[in-house]
Amino acid sequence: MPGLDGLQLYEKARAIDKRYATNFVFMSGDLVRESTKAFVNASGCACLEKPFAMDALYRNIAPFFNTGTTSTTR
């Protein structure tokens, strides 16, 4: 995202309404960096490590659409 990364978007959304903070699934290729890993862990949100399989994406976003599928990585 030009001018804004996912962590910044998360922080802005959370500042508007803390309930937004539970509606994120992070996707990252940077979980080797301790600061990124710590941020994701502290958020309590799911994180898919790139590259990821489409079924992993579906399992993690389906609960937001009330499909009855539950996430295995949250």
Which pLDDT tens digit goes with each residue over 46-70?
999 999 999 999 999 999 887 554 5
Q: Which residue has the tokens 């539950």?
A: 70
- pLDDT of 68 reads 54
Instruction: Examine the pLDDT at 9 and tell me if it is beyond 90.
Output: yes
Element (H, E) at 28: strand 25-28
Residue 71 lies in a domain: no
pLDDT, average across residues 1-20: 90
Residue 50 lies in a domain: yes
Mean pLDDT over all residues of the chain? 86
Residue 37 lies in a domain: yes
Residue 58 lies in a domain: yes
Residue 73 lies in a domain: no
Q: Is 66 exposed, middle or buried (0-12, 13-18, 19+ CB in 10 A)?
A: exposed
Q: Which of the two residues, 41 and 74, has the higher pLDDT score?
A: 41
